[in-house]
């Protein structure tokens, strides 16, 4: 079996992740921050160690500004609904995932003013068009770091400069880049960084978070929900301290144990090494697909400008049929359709059917890629 759906969730997981989760359940099964006994303290230590690992990965000086959530959609909603009010202006791009677009459309109905900057057919963002989209009162910019449809990487540092010059904060959706390309949050100028645990960080599903930069005044960032935190229990008002203000309820401790192990595994390899490895696989995949008549590949087709996410279509064939054939006849697992990003597909002209998305990962081999190319050659020629 060849697994090429790593942009949806990474698989397989490193053995270190599985062992960390098993060890937590066996030896640290208490409720972190809720009791003073040894199992609670042990659980809290595991969670804090994961918080420190995330902070180190993104070059954040204060681990308390790492907020754990149930996934990146939760993190994005926390930032968007926490910051934006009726009358505020927000700027985004046309290649965003629905985890950004659906909250923004809901906020738009409540009076937030939304501007969507059109990207090119390859998903690239015109910075001058982006700059021109800013008007007085722009509160926030929210963009994906890299498209989940065609892998196109947006120029985050330049976007941050434009946003900050206009007095706006920058929220970045790093679902497709965390653990895959190096991210220095302060150096890039990212104010709010949303990440998920189950993709490039090689943790389990049900994990993610939001990291809050120093420019963000947390007194102006409202919690998405309120409740028990294990701290300030004598008060019926939500505590203001971080991370408690945004982490109501018992956290997914066993998932966070796995996430922390995944991050440490990535750090032991080096994110730069992972990026280089995936770029090699991407180059091999792109060159092979582009040599097959009848196959259209979308995006920049330049591994220096994209993550290892390749979208394509086969002339005269529905993407769903191709996906089924790849699974049934060749044991190649990928994703077809709109990938929860209709705006991105409208941008590149593949709406409403979508594309076949191939996403290799660190455990993919060059032989796997050669097999995928051979399968597409047979499908393109024989239908």
The residues annotated with a catalytic role in the active site are 340
Tell me which H or E stretch contains 290: helix 271-290
Q: Reduced to 3 DSSP states, what percent helix, strand and coil does the chain have, rounded to the nearest 5?
A: 40, 15, 40
Q: State phi, psi for 170 to the nearest 5 degrees.
A: -120, 120
DSSP string, 314-352: ETTS-HHHHHHHHHHHH-EE-EEE-TT-HHHHHHHT-TT
Q: What SS3 state is found at 295?
A: strand
Q: CB neighbours of 198 closer than 8 A, spacing ≥ 6?
A: 9, 10, 71, 204, 205, 206, 207, 208
* Count of CA atoms in the C-beta half-sphere (13 A) of 314: 24
Q: CB neighbours of 70 closer than 8 A, spacing ≥ 6?
A: 206, 207, 208, 252
* CA distances in angstroms from 256 to 51, 304, 309, listed in the order given: 9, 32, 26
Cα–Cα distance, 75 to 54 (Å, whole number): 15
Q: What angle do CA 51, 56, 58 make, to 5 degrees?
A: 100
């Amino acid at each position: 079996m060849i697994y090429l759906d790593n942009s949806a969730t990474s698989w397989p997981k490193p053995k270190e992740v599985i062992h960390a989760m098993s060890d937590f359940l066996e030896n640290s099964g208490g409720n972190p921050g809720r009791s003073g006994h040894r199992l609670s303290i042990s659980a809290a230590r595991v969670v804090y160690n994961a918080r420190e690992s995330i902070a180190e990965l993104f070059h954040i000086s204060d681990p308390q500004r790492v907020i754990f959530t149930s996934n990146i959609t939760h993190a994005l909603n926390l930032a968007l609904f926490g910051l934006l009010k009726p009358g505020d202006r927000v700027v985004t791009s046309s290649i965003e995932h629905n985890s950004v677009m659906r909250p923004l459309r809901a906020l738009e109905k409540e009076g937030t003013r939304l501007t969507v900057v059109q990207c090119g057919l390859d998903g690239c963002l015109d910075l001058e068009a982006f700059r021109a989209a800013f008007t007085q009162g722009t509160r926030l910019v929210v963009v994906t770091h890299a498209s989940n449809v065609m892998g196109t990487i947006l120029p985050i540092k330049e976007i941050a400069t434009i946003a900050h010059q206009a007095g706006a904060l920058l929220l970045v959706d790093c679902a497709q880049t965390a653990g895959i390309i190096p991210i220095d949050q302060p150096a890039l100028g990212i104010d709010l960084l949303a990440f998920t645990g189950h993709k490039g960080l090689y943790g389990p599903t049900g994990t993610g978070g939001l990291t809050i930069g120093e420019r963000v005044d947390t007194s102006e960032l409202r919690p998405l929900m309120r409740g028990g935190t294990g701290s300030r229990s004598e008060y019926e008002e939500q505590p203001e301290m971080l991370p408690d203000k945004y982490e109501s309820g018992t956290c997914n401790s066993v998932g966070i144990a796995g996430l922390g192990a995944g991050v440490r595994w990535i750090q032991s390899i080096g994110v730069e090494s992972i990026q280089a490895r995936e770029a090699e696989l991407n180059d091999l995949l792109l060159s092979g697909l582009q040599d097959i008549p009848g196959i259209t590949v979308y995006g920049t087709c330049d591994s220096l400008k994209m993550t290892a996410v390749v979208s394509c279509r086969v002339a005269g064939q529905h993407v769903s049929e191709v996906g089924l054939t790849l699974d049934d006849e060749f044991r190649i697992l990928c994703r077809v359709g709109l990938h929860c990003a209709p705006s991105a597909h409208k941008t590149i002209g593949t709406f409403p059917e979508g594309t076949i998305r191939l996403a290799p990962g660190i455990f993919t081999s060059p032989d796997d890629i050669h097999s995928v190319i051979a399968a597409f050659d047979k499908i393109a020629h024989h239908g």
